[in-house]
Amino acid sequence: MHIPDGFLSPQTYLPAYAVAAVAWAWAAKGLRETLDETTVPRLAMLTALAYGLGLVMVPIPGGTSGHALGIALLALVFGVRLAFAAYSLVLLLQSLFFGAGGITALAVNALAIGLVGAAAAVATRKLLKGLGDTVSIGAAAWVSVVVSGLVVAVVLGIQPIIAHRPDGTPLFFPFGLAVTLPAVLIPHAIIGVGEAVLTVLILRYVKARKWALA
């Protein structure tokens, strides 16, 4: 899922950083009031779990990799704002220490997974809450993975259109949407099933210890 350096054109990652800067400012607003002696250790524990999940990467066709995200865990417990802030830190540390994702692509990765993925998880949970925790949480986790993958696939797939030589040769990522969409979405639809099961089990543990879900 992480997009590495060299795959995205400046026409893509510079505007993405501008959008991400606004989103990061929004996520940071009121952070001091949100974090307290109860929230901080819980957020740290689930962020560390998401960090670990994101490091178990399997290369897949189309120029990226597949892995569980953990963004639904963060979003369903802490809400979109805190989840986005925490997952942005996860992505930064993974890129700096393990080369999982690039610095130029950090904004796109953060927006795709940390923001869009978190928002998709929360929206799905609210939409399906009447069907019970197992269905709504599992669906939220699956949707978060697939929607994040969709954003990544689209961003990669439009690179040949955005940046190319006069003869049409791509300057950065060479494959179009016909390759990236199935290459990213099919594996992540399968990964999402595993993430759904994992998320349901972890959040059962969380609820048993009287943690409130967002």
SS3 167: coil
The rounded Cα 204 to chain-centroid distance in angstroms is 22
| Structural domain includes residue 214 | no
Range of weakest confidence among 36-40, 98-102, 108-112, 169-173: 98-102
Higher local confidence (pLDDT), 185 or 168 = 185
SS3 4: coil
50-78 tens-digit pLDDT: 887 766 666 665 555 567 788 999 999 99
| Structural domain includes residue 151 | yes
Domain range for 170: 10-208
Tell me the mean pLDDT in the region 75-83.
93
| Structural domain includes residue 3 | no
pLDDT of residue 58: 64
Tell me the mean pLDDT in the region 180-198.
91
Rounded-to-integer distance, Cα 108 and Cα 201, Å = 29
| Structural domain includes residue 68 | yes
| Structural domain includes residue 99 | yes
2-46 tens-digit pLDDT: 788 889 999 999 999 999 999 999 998 877 777 878 888 888 888
pLDDT of residue 61: 57
| Structural domain includes residue 130 | yes
H-helix or E-strand spanning residue 204: helix 177-208
| Structural domain includes residue 39 | yes
| Structural domain includes residue 4 | no
Residues composing the chain? 214
Which CATH number belongs to the domain containing residue 135 in this structure?
1.10.1760.20
Tell me the mean pLDDT in the region 179-193.
91
Q: How many domains does the chain have?
A: 1
Decide if pLDDT at 214 tops 70.
no
- To the question of pTM greater than 0.85 for the whole model, the response is yes
- Percent pLDDT > 90 in the chain is 56
Question: What is the rounded average pLDDT for all residues in the chain?
Answer: 88
